[in-house]
Amino acid sequence: MLKLHPATSIILCLLLFFLTLLYNNPLYIISILLFIVIGTLIIGERSSLIKVLKYSKFNIIFLILLNPLISQNGRTIIFKASYVPFLGRIKITLESIAFGLNMGLKLTCITTVFVFYSLLSERDDIFSFFAKYLNKLTIISSMTINIIHKLSIDLKRIKEVMVLRGVNFNQKNIFKKVRAVYPIIKIIFISSLEGSLDRAEALHSRLYGKAKRTNYYILRFRKIDYMINMTNLLLIIIFIISFMLNYGDYDFYPTLRNFSYHELIFLLVFNFILYLNLLFIWWYKKWKSLKSEI
């Protein structure tokens, strides 16, 4: 886990998210995906990455299978069927499979952006950051987290008591299973509602909402935050130029086309700026000076 300023991680991840949505060129999508994969590995969260890639594998297969069935565009025919129920006459083309694969990569990229975001900043820092601007939303979120934790303990405790009283939760019949679980939910529902009043009284007695909230500590921008935000700015400029030159776009139909020389040169510039962030992250892990505040 890194300790970036929450604003930096939000800007970087929003940028990655919208760049993935905006670019249609597979080379750009692969570049962004590789950036997130390498970044996650540098941070040392291999297990989170494997988990999300396992899930994404099915999405990619689904989109590769689905797209040729609904899109009859493309000239390179791989398979032709005269009649398939509901779908009618279908032809499976190389272009439609490539389009499906590109969309699968896009979805994987977007999913990994969320994982990457959770690794860039400390949760406490994110809470402190939002508490400054979104006071009520933060208090309600932190109370909910506390309640979920408390309820899951209560749930376990009540379940143990019910098991001792002879309730069987491992029944195969779905209705019997639901009937066994229902009393637990009812008990928890009533007791937690009672508890909510107690919590409110406790906060009220501590004068919550009577004055402006104070901050326990102030989050400051470090050297690494300035450096990453600088590359974020450059990425936005690069995106605007690529959008104007139409480099980020790619037409899959009617046939797959080769990438032009200029397009590849521009991709190298895009990658150079994007991958600078990886260098900063790696330095941050290695060098203490980047952790210091300016």
Partner 1 sequence: MNYGLILGLSLLILFIIIVVSYERRKISIKEISLLATLSGLAGVSRVPFSAIPNVQPTTFLVIISGYVLGPFYGFMVGFIATLVSNGFLGHGPWTPWQMLSWGLAGLSAGILNKFFKNPSRIFLSIFAFLWGFLFDYIMNLWHFITFVYPHTLKSFILVYSTSFYFDLMHALGNFGFMYFFGKDFITILKRFKYRLNFIKEEEEV
Point out which residues bind partner 1 (CB under 8 A): 17-18, 21-22, 52, 62-63, 66-67, 69-71, 73, 87, 99, 103-104, 106-107, 110-111, 114-115, 117-118, 134-137, 139-141, 143-148, 150-152, 155, 174, 177-178, 181-182, 184-186, 188-190, 192-193, 195-197, 199-200, 203-204, 208-209
Phi, psi of 5 (to 5 degrees): -65, 135
Q: Which is nearer to partner 1, 117 or 129 (CB)?
A: 117
Tell the smallest beta-carbon distance from residue 230 to partner 1 (Å).
Answer: 24
**Which candidate, 59, 155, 152, places its Cα nearest to that of 104?**
59
* Whole-number Å distance between alpha carbons of 250 and 233: 24
Strand, coil or helix: what is 81?
strand
Q: Which is nearer to partner 1, 110 or 230 (CB)?
A: 110
Tell the smallest beta-carbon distance from residue 283 to partner 1 (Å).
Answer: 27
Tell the smallest beta-carbon distance from residue 288 to partner 1 (Å).
Answer: 30
User: By the 8 A CB rule, do 115 and 46 touch?
Assistant: no
* Whole-number Å distance between alpha carbons of 65 and 80: 15
* Whole-number Å distance between alpha carbons of 206 and 200: 10
Q: Which is nearer to partner 1, 126 or 228 (CB)?
A: 126
Beta strands in the chain (DSSP E): 77-84, 88-93
Sign of the torsion formed by the C-alpha atoms of 223, 225, 228 and 233: negative
Q: Which is nearer to partner 1, 76 or 192 (CB)?
A: 192
Tokens of 189: 């529902």
Tell the smallest beta-carbon distance from residue 158 to partner 1 (Å).
Answer: 11
Q: Which is nearer to partner 1, 136 or 257 (CB)?
A: 136
The H-or-E segment that residue 101 falls in is helix 94-120
Residues 6+ apart with CB under 8 A from 233: none
Q: Which is nearer to partner 1, 42 or 66 (CB)?
A: 66
Tell the smallest beta-carbon distance from residue 147 to partner 1 (Å).
Answer: 3
